[in-house]
Structure 1
């Protein structure tokens, strides 16, 4: 296996790499000291996994996620416990989020195995942070009816009124009426604004779907 470890703090990179070499001696390890270098390695090397810090110079870990156009699983390994950052990382496509201090060296092997098998990993602090962040966004669903919420869910998938009507066995006029009724309730004036607000504030995560492994 080939794994990238990206962190701007040399001592942190050294610690993570030492653990990897101790518990996963078969791994080939590449290093990056900033996000731009990490992205370059992601695109240029045949990696199996990447471990990234959130806060790095030139390009943050979240920035790497945003620009990453590879299929390499990425785990955020960081001190950052802020719910908004955890949520942004998972929305950005991270395969996991580990808060340093939550995990033991012995658990690293299980984390890697889980991600390589297509699972997702979260440390306990990250899981609580993600749940808190998601809970803050549930309230907007309480502002609209169940049918309006259902239609808005389709809107952020890029479906037209005609497609939504066909999916829900409604007329296009009925779909339009539901949408118009929802705009005032969520504080927007048109479809595009509704899509942006709904995508940002109605985002939710089913923590039961996250494979935590030994964490």
Structure 2
């Protein structure tokens, strides 16, 4: 029997479907993990032991978002939950002060154990995944047959990122990005980028924070 108090964990991602998928992963571990579900787009506003930063729809180069979590005095430790295990990304995350770098291929029991290790004061980097096949959770487009990487590339396209920036941020070759785009387009039945963006907007690829009351979201420094 687990006698320690559960670790308080905030789930951070702008996509409601992603956060809900993580909630399901932790459902059988309520005695070990107490989840604080965030409304998409809000910062952590109550004290938590661990902030689990899900990387879906966020390029690793998007460090200001992670830095904001690290600076939040209500967050004990920050863990990145991702498929991208490029050594340079791991090293940068550790230099920023991240306490864990965990693979999305971890089964729920291993993810919970790693979170407990981080809470105990250890820096945990899980083994690099051999393939991108998340063990749990969810992502936009999954029900339409999109793979995780196809879905993430489509999310970034929906947000207006060009192929070169997607390739650089995801540490993929331009040809790999084009391959994911072609296969995604076939699955969703579009032929042009504008059609893909329109499809993405209709199928949950615009981040959920755009539906919040403006008072709940800090203004974008680029748009005021």
TM range (shorter): 0.3 to 0.5
When normalised by structure 2's length, the TM-score is: 0.45
Identify which of structures 1 and 2 has the higher relative contact order when contacts are C-alpha pairs closer than 8 Å and 6+ apart. Answer: 2
Larger radius of gyration: 1
**Structure with greater helix percent:** 1
When normalised by structure 1's length, the TM-score is: 0.47
